[in-house]
Amino acid sequence: MMNSKFNSKEKTTENPNEDAFAFTRENYKWVLIGLAFILVGFVMMIGGGSDNPDVFGSGIFSFTRWTVAPMLVLTGYAIEVYAIMKKSKN
């Protein structure tokens, strides 16, 4: 004999927001902020070449390209992890 509890078509959930989206508006805000950090970091890394291939340009070794830009990219990735892991307040 089957238990009627398993035959019930009613949806019994403890959490009324179970069918809600995984991300809230605030999560998406943090995702966009993280993407902006990553984009700015990569834009800061480009360039530094020379117009004449026979002349060495020392601009490729600037502090901005070697230190600031990678730190911005890593900060952007950390913000992305935070945005994904952040739970809503509801």
Compute the average pLDDT of residues 9-38: 80
Output the pTM of the full model: 0.71
**What token pair was written down for 63?**
């502090």
Q: What is the DSSP track for 11-73? A: ---S-TTTTS-SS-HHHHHHHHHHHHHHHHHHHHHS----SSTTS--GGGG-HIIIIIHHHHH
pLDDT in tens, 45-85: 997 677 787 888 777 888 999 999 999 999 999 999 999 99
Mapped onto helix, strand or coil, the DSSP state of residue 78 is helix
How far the first Cα of the chain sits from its last, in Å, is 41
pLDDT in tens, 28-41: 999 999 999 999 99
CB atoms within 10 A of CB 69: 19
Domain map (residue ranges) of the chain: 20-85
pLDDT at 12: 56
